[in-house]
Structure 1
Amino acid sequence: MTHASHSTNSPFRGFTLREWQEHYRTAPGSLRTTLSMVLGSLSHTDNAWIYRATANQLEDQIAHLESLRQKAEGSMAALPLFGVPFAVKDNIDIAGWPTSAACPAFTYTAEADATVVANLRAKGAIVIGKTNLDQFATGLVGTRSPYGAVRNTFNPDYVSGGSSSGSASVLARGLVAFSLGTDTAGSGRVPAGFNNVVGLKPTKGWLSNKGVVPACRLNDSVSIFALTVADAQTVAHAAGGYDAADAYSRPNPRTAPVAISAHPRFAVPDSLEFFGDAQAEFEFDQALDRLSSSGVTLVPIDFTPFRELAEQLYYGAWVAERTVAVGQIFEESPEVMDPVVRGIVANGLNYSACDAWRAEYLRAELSRKINLALEGFDALVVPTSPTIRTQEEMVQEPVLYNSQFGIYTNFTNLADLSALALPSSLRADGLPAGITLVAPAWHDDALASFGRQWQRSLTLPLGATGITLKPEEYMTSTPLTASVRVAVVGAHLTGMPLNFQLTSRNAVRIEQTTTAATYKLYALANTTPPKPGLVRAETGSAIIVELWDIPLARFGEFVAEIPAPLGIGSLELADGRTVKGFICEPWAIPDATDITHFGGWRSYISHLASLKNA
């Protein structure tokens, strides 16, 4: 049974981004009363929160948002998150608010917003509060905080997962529309899995870490919790982007696919460990069966390098990076730290600079093996966590059980991978079970494209709200700018001789459709392989085309291979959309054969084959 402690009577409980947008469309003057109601509904005894906005802090944000709306002159396109309340993990700065990293002695007042917060506020979002965490983001459990252990939202006897425990909890209960966490070793995925929500672990460097208290700067990622995959994707695009002020920020090269292929191939570990948790093992097997039945090809791969790299994060010289990150407070006042966290941080003193270099060489070698192993696959699918533990069990074995939670998460940032944690099912004991999709860097949108389909196929409640997903919530409201949609009509169609020019550039087939009924199709003379020419005409027909999304950075080289008389122009589709597509110069038409009546190139090729075999 879902745990209902600290529930809210707010009418906005469990609102998705789409519902928030609709609310303000129908009640445009309700911004102040709405947000005051949301803030007022938050319990002061709920230890998922460390800090809640004051009335003045909320009013300052509202006034700023009203000024943004005035500048927009009625157009809300620039404010897609208008008035949407969100929560922020308390190791991320908000100007004028305290940042504690769950260590009261460490607390300071932030001078400026973290870049991700500033980006979200610029899109209209409103910070409602800051959330509890495993101290200094060190842990996957949600119990290592002087503010108290955050309870699982489905059963308070169990852990919430960490370190982003509070962000997962308030989101799962529908108190906010989305929340920010951080993820170094799984802190944005394990809590998502334990609380039945979506956890997006972006590619390192996409979301800036400026204004974030570091855990391991080389491996930190700001992460996103949301009730739907579409919402997580929208928030990531609003929050992300290159930030010159963050030395580890990097621009998206726009070479990765933005969708999963029509016939996905997922890698699966050849050996799986669940530490005796039969229910977790059963639910993962069920998830694999659902993937297979939906058309995904599952292929076992050697998981050894993944496992070896995962072990390095806490049992190798990498732990010394946490020692550096905590810094002065550990050196001068270690007694103020959580004892378990202090013990982990102290281990970093056991390693030399030589050990650190050896660890980096090993990381690079294992990372290369991992990325090579994932070639030819759309993603790796793993359990989000192999098991879950009670609060009491965690007291008995705080380090061992924490380590168990991370065997399918710890390697991800070390190998420069993207990841998406998805709800999967509810176990027989009522606790959530989840899967995580892992792919190379910058495949975030591709993972989200499949995640939306996956979430659509389930009948799970959103988090612990008891609310189910509405059909219109499946799709992202974010227009993706990392690709170009191209209509192909002939030799580039699936299975045709030039299709490799698309697939070799990570293009993904989106759908088959038809042009508007204003085109003629011709078989061009003297082309190898045979190619058609598509020409706009007053008296034409609808011609079958395939739509492919090509990564933006690969589009130019694709176009460069197109020979005359063909080129790329704008095509009108039957449903009114306009996309880029193949067109033909008029001078080639007199020598060509009109094949419009076949309705498409594939039918014409089949006709030629039948004549040859007759």
Structure 2
Amino acid sequence: MTRTSPPDAVRAAYARIRSAEPGHVWIHLRAEEDALADAGDVAARTAAGVDLPLAGLVFAVKDNIDVAGLPTTAAHPEFAFVPATSAPVVERLRAAGAVLVGKTNLDQFATGLVGTRSPYGPVASAVDPDRVAGGSSSGSGAAVGLGLVDFALGTDTAGSGRVPAAFNGVVGLKPTVGLLPADGVVPACPSYDTVSVFAADVALAARVLTVCQAPTTGDVPDPQDAGATRAPDARAWPADAPQGAPAHPVVAVPRDEDLGTLSPAVRAAFAAAIGRLEGTGATVRRIDLTPFLAAGRLLYDGGLVAERAWSYGEFLAGHPEQADPSVAAIATAASGVEGTRVVADQQRLAGLTRQGRRLLDGTDALLVPTAPIHPTFAQVAADPIGVNSTVGTFTNFVNLMDLAAVAVPAGQVDGEGQFGVTFVVPAFHDQVAADLAARFLGEGEEAPLLGAPGVDVAVFGAHLRGEPLNAQLDALGGRYLRDVATAPAFRMLLVEGAVDRPAVVRGGEASVPGELWRLSPASLARLLTSIAAPLALGPVELSDGSTVVGFTGAPTGTEPDITHLGGWRAYRTAAATPA
């Protein structure tokens, strides 16, 4: 694929920005010459042979994320400060070759799902100017939806990385909380905040997420320094994180009675989305969404809202001028929450989370409407709190219950705006959600790998796709990578049993065909314990010179040699052909 040169990409982006309606997307737009200087540096590095995976791409960040030298306002002018260092997520993107063009508008202090709670102006949907862009990451969602940038960073506490995706017709990837560093991000509810990614497709969102996890050489604020805000602890991928979605996943969907906030037309759109999902090979299971919806209500209607007061309540109390009325009302109410109420609702949330996990047991994901409505500006003005609450019906619970999600567009509903759906998965099953989203959008069977630790395993027989034991790899969260062959130094022996299997051993002159799969370290350990002698796992050299873990064996000397048939599938064909 031919990439646009970084300077040309920047010039094209600023041309699009100049020709677009202002729309209150930006709070700070960098001078074009500054962005071009960055692009020139990227071009020089690539010319010198440096691999920059995001070279030729331009991006924006929500204005509650620090960028060195640019004000961070969180959509309150008097809160503004100019950080000396950028948030690690920003540093990593720029180090990978992406060029920043500006900082985007948001619902003040990242509190809201509508995109109208900002003194810098309300942000309109990229698709329908009479309807809101969604919040709180309104400007980031609209910037991608309008095609002004290739991707943008938002943040997500209650749905702010997903609702703007739905309302602007783009993809919103909300990772597991803690997977991306939150240093340099103004907190809203620090226990549940995460940086999120908006892009036109799942593939690019996944690439961006992977870069944001990479090690950084930049300094981040020391939490012990005066004035530093303690960011939530980072969380590393666990050893059992799945490497991909099953070929035939089981996906939970809400019961009809859980969809009461949807109009008949939007219900029909959701039913169509379910049908589209089934067309990709998924099986649907209806579940009771009650505990999830009850958990979501705790974010604003319960004691958990006290975190909003901790984050910015004191500042708003001292700087009421330019405070959004809805945000100020939430902060004021939050400051009166008693500590015992916080603890009670934390315990209530823990119980609801356990119920939710039991309901999702045996499924690979939950599919929900991203939002039940896409409101107009007039509807929000008439009932700012009520409409915002309705918009968050299916998003509020996700971070509270330690779930990850990918929101994708699902078309327009006549007279009712944009519609989208979200794939929700357990923590660190982000890859599963990304794969399902990619299939739903027709981007292919799988999204790019997100970075969970994995081990490449070569299989040659009953574990191949379409063979009797392949379901084991699916159940272990395995991921097919590509077809491979061994170095020309092996032979294949037949191990007969209830399920015939081959043993690929050294001592021959053949290159045996097989497949390369990726398993998590924990899944590899479980696979190993399931293997019966004389089969084993051990180092296998491939035809490309690499060495991977593969199925081999310790033959007894009685196994028939089937090397001459040319591989396991050829053996199966020969065995099924009458003599």
1:385 partnered with 2:371: yes
Deviation at 1:157, TM superposition (A): 1.0
Partner of 1:262: 247
SS at 1:109 equivalent: coil
Change (3 A) 1:493 1:182: same
Q: Distance in 1 between matches of 2:470 and 2:7?
A: 54
How many residues end up aligned between the 2 structures? Answer: 563
Deviations along 1:501-548, whole A, 9 cap, x unmatched? Answer: 6455433456777768875321248x89764211357653754x4543
Partner of 1:133: 106
1:428 partnered with 2:414: yes
Partner of 1:82: 55
Partner of 1:293: 279
1:595 partnered with 2:567: no
Deviation at 1:136, TM superposition (A): 0.6
Partner of 1:551: 520
What is the RMSD of the two structures over their aligned residues, measured on CA atoms? Answer: 3.3
Contact kept? 2:116, 2:123, Cα under 8 Å: yes
Bigger CA drift: 48-57 or 338-347?
A: 48-57
Question: For residues 472-487 of structure 1, what are the structure 2 equivalents within 5 Å?
Answer: 480=451, 482-487=453-458
Deviations along 1:261-314, whole A, 9 cap, x unmatched? Answer: 011110011233253523211111111111122221000011111110011111
1:58 partnered with 2:43: no
Q: Distance in 2 between matches of 1:288 and 1:342?
A: 39
Q: Distance in 2 between matches of 1:570 and 1:429?
A: 60
Partner of 2:144: 171
SS at 2:185 equivalent: coil
Question: For residues 7-406 of structure 1, what are the structure 2 equivalents within 5 Å?
Answer: 22-24=3-5, 31-32=6-7, 34-39=9-14, 41-43=16-18, 45-55=22-32, 57-58=34-35, 61-62=38-39, 65=42, 69=45, 74-77=48-51, 79-241=52-214, 246-270=231-255, 271-273=257-259, 275=261, 277-406=263-392
1:449 partnered with 2:423: no
Q: Distance in 2 between matches of 1:56 and 1:509?
A: 45
Q: Distance in 1 between matches of 2:482 and 2:242?
A: 15
Bigger CA drift: 205-214 or 515-524?
A: 515-524
Bigger CA drift: 86-95 or 286-295?
A: 286-295
Contact kept? 1:48, 1:167, Cα under 8 Å: yes
1:580 partnered with 2:548: yes
Q: 2:459 is matched with which residue: 488, 506, 518?
A: 488
Amino acid in the other structure paired with 2:88: T
SS at 2:303 equivalent: coil
Question: For residues 488-527 of structure 1, what are the structure 2 equivalents within 5 Å?
Answer: 488-490=459-461, 492=463, 502=473, 505-508=476-479, 519-524=490-495
Change (3 A) 1:138 1:595: same
Q: 1:568 is matched with which residue: 538, 547, 564?
A: 538
SS at 2:48 equivalent: coil
Contact kept? 2:167, 2:418, Cα under 8 Å: yes
SS at 1:86 equivalent: strand
Bigger CA drift: 531-540 or 345-354?
A: 531-540
Q: Distance in 2 between matches of 1:577 and 1:384?
A: 46
Change (3 A) 1:478 1:301: closer
Contact kept? 1:385, 1:434, Cα under 8 Å: yes
Q: TM-score when scaled to structure 1? A: 0.83
Q: Distance in 2 between matches of 1:430 and 1:361?
A: 38
Q: Distance in 1 between matches of 2:539 and 2:545?
A: 14
Contact kept? 1:90, 1:102, Cα under 8 Å: yes
Amino acid in the other structure paired with 1:522: L
Deviation at 1:127, TM superposition (A): 0.9
Change (3 A) 1:418 1:56: same
Q: Which runs of 5+ in 1 are unaligned?
A: 1-17, 25-30, 458-470
Amino acid in the other structure paired with 1:23: T
Q: Which runs of 5+ in 2 are unaligned?
A: 223-230
SS at 1:128 equivalent: strand
Change (3 A) 1:377 1:548: farther
Contact kept? 1:162, 1:190, Cα under 8 Å: yes
Deviation at 1:383, TM superposition (A): 0.7
Deviation at 1:444, TM superposition (A): 1.3
